[in-house]
Structure 1
Amino acid sequence: MKTTIQSLLTGLALAGLQISAAQAALPAEYEFVTEALPGLEIELVQPAPVPGYLELHSGPNIFYMSEDGKHLFVGSLVDIETETDLTEASKAKKRLGYVNKFDDSESIVFAADNEIAEVVVFTDIDCGYCRKLHREIANYNEAGISIRYLFFPRSGPGTSSWKKAQDVWCAESRQKAMTRAKNNQAVESGDCDTSILDAHYAAVNELGLSGTPALLTQDGALIIGYRSSEELLKLLDSES
């Protein structure tokens, strides 16, 4: 039995769920969850949208356990009548919690004059498609889409990409510096508090992101990869 559970945990880890030696304390009524899944980091347990099941949150992921602790379900829970992906709806709400904590002073915003939507973009200055997206920033703004940048230097802290992000953040005009950096031009910068990059990077890990650009809509939908302004508008229209 222990071998089966260990194999399950390994599979969950490969699926992106958080495996940890230390488990955060859950309410006493849900202790059986951690006993059934030792080592799996579960941050939240709450009733699932269907009777008899619990919804378990682990990092950016959501899965389900029967209330008697005997059955585990990993996958999408769909309401057949409404054709709603209930798992994705919960994930979307969770994603918004990770990014809505950053206000204008903690991000770099290219705002549309006649805004119809705002999209959060996790960006890496050295990412080719991030640069392509930024070259078209005027197209997004003209379409009514504001772009809110958060940093995701994929190579991690202490690297060249991270240093470029720091230089942009400490520049007198972050917008102009972002444009220069994305054009592979030198950025005049100074010394400032760059701890916000750590906060952005923490959000990246909480969201389970691995590539850039990564776009998050106001409804919490996650879009991986470049989209033109026309493509993005269609996706946003389909959400509304």
Structure 2
Amino acid sequence: MILRYFVSAGIIFFLAFSTLSAESASAFQGPGCMGECADCHKLTSEEASKLLKVEKFGAEIKEIKMSPVKGLWEVVFSKEGRTGSAYLDFGKKYLVEGKFTALENLEKEIEKSEEARALKKVDLKKIPLDGAIVLGDKSAAKKVIIFDDPDCPYCQKLHEDVKKIIAKRKDIAFYIKLFPLPMHPDAYEKSKTIICEKSVKLLNEAFEGKALPKATCKAEEVDDNIKLAGELGLHGTPAIILPDGTLIPGYMPEEALIKLIDGEPQQGANKGEKKQETGVGKKTGKKTDKKADKKAK
């Protein structure tokens, strides 16, 4: 799914893979509407484009149709040859992200998702580290790569854990590749500023929510990182790549992350512990570890 690739921070989102509240559910109902929903509710491509601001991200709307769930339109997006769907309520106030899964298929879908995630590995040779921001000793035996967004709340949370880890483990170093998501409109310029200076101090200040100066160079590495993330199949932040190339798509608590870095099996590591913001991603099942911009700061 590529929804978040197109969504700006100005849109009011509602991520609903848990039970919808009564207040939210009421927004999906059209008062006084009888018969077919399409008879009462209309949404044109032009209106959807304006509401979702897709043109800002170089995307276009390919199709609008009624979703499998009443009260929602399915809006099909396209960008750079990739397509994905989003769901907009009839009240035109909420955007619902994800995939509808029939409850009878829920267990199988969750198992498939967990298996795919557990087996995911990245080719480390494809990731240049020359321009990465290094936290820890460059000569450390264990190198961990993190694709971060400076405005991602879970990246900020992980960053605090990373500082704790390098303080007590001199054999672990973290290489930060900045990967700003379109859902954070200021993250791109912040990433450029940090990369231009190769500054851990600026990275810290970004995660502290402080204003950063303008970039002093073109910082083409930011665009290179975005392209690389797509080639590696990274759909959100944080994305942690262990020394053996294993991909952890999302936040991991300090102690659990240390065990994974040390090669220790972590029971339940793939069951609800990871949290991630996504610009390009897919979701399966009743729960998802790729959550939106909730108040995690």
TM-score w.r.t. length of structure 1: 0.55
Counterpart of 2:182 (choices 140, 146, 155) is 155
Matched, 1:96 2:124: yes
Matched, 1:225 2:250: yes
| Cα-to-partner distance string for 1:50-108 (whole Å, 9 max, x where unaligned) | xxxxxxxxxxxxxxxxxxxxxxxxx9xxxxxxxxx9x94xx63x531321xx133x111
Aligned pairs for 1:1-240 within 5 A = 88=119, 92=121, 95-99=123-127, 102-104=128-130, 106-112=131-137, 115-141=140-166, 142-143=168-169, 144-155=171-182, 159-171=185-197, 174-238=199-263
Moved over 4 A (4+): none
Higher relative contact order (CA 8 A, sep 6+): 2
> What is the CA–CA distance in structure 2 between the aligned matches of 1:103 and 1:96, rounded to whole Å?
10
Equivalence for 1:5: none
TM-aligned CA deviation for residue 225 of structure 1: 1.2
1:122 and 1:152 in contact (8 A); partners too: yes
The one-letter code matched in structure 2 to 1:97 is K
TM-aligned CA deviation for residue 228 of structure 1: 2.6
2:129 and 2:175 in contact (8 A); partners too: no
1:114–1:228 Cα change, 3 Å: farther
**Structure 2: 5+ residue runs without aligned partners?**
1-79, 82-111, 266-297
TM-aligned CA deviation for residue 215 of structure 1: 0.4
* Structure (1/2) with the larger helix percentage: 1
1:125–1:108 Cα change, 3 Å: same
> What is the CA–CA distance in structure 1 between the aligned matches of 2:129 and 2:160, rounded to whole Å?
24
TM-aligned CA deviation for residue 156 of structure 1: 7.1
2:192 and 2:215 in contact (8 A); partners too: no
TM-aligned CA deviation for residue 193 of structure 1: 2.9
1:136–1:222 Cα change, 3 Å: same
> What is the CA–CA distance in structure 2 between the aligned matches of 1:122 and 1:149, rounded to whole Å?
6
> What is the CA–CA distance in structure 2 between the aligned matches of 1:215 and 1:238, rounded to whole Å?
14
Equivalence for 1:48: none
1:119 and 1:218 in contact (8 A); partners too: yes
| Cα-to-partner distance string for 1:109-145 (whole Å, 9 max, x where unaligned) | 1124883411100001111110011123321202232
What secondary structure does 2:211 align onto?
coil
TM-aligned CA deviation for residue 161 of structure 1: 1.2
2:189 and 2:215 in contact (8 A); partners too: no
What secondary structure does 1:186 align onto?
coil
> What is the CA–CA distance in structure 2 between the aligned matches of 1:192 and 1:133, rounded to whole Å?
28
Equivalence for 1:52: none
Give me the CA root mean square deviation: 3.2
What secondary structure does 2:263 align onto?
helix
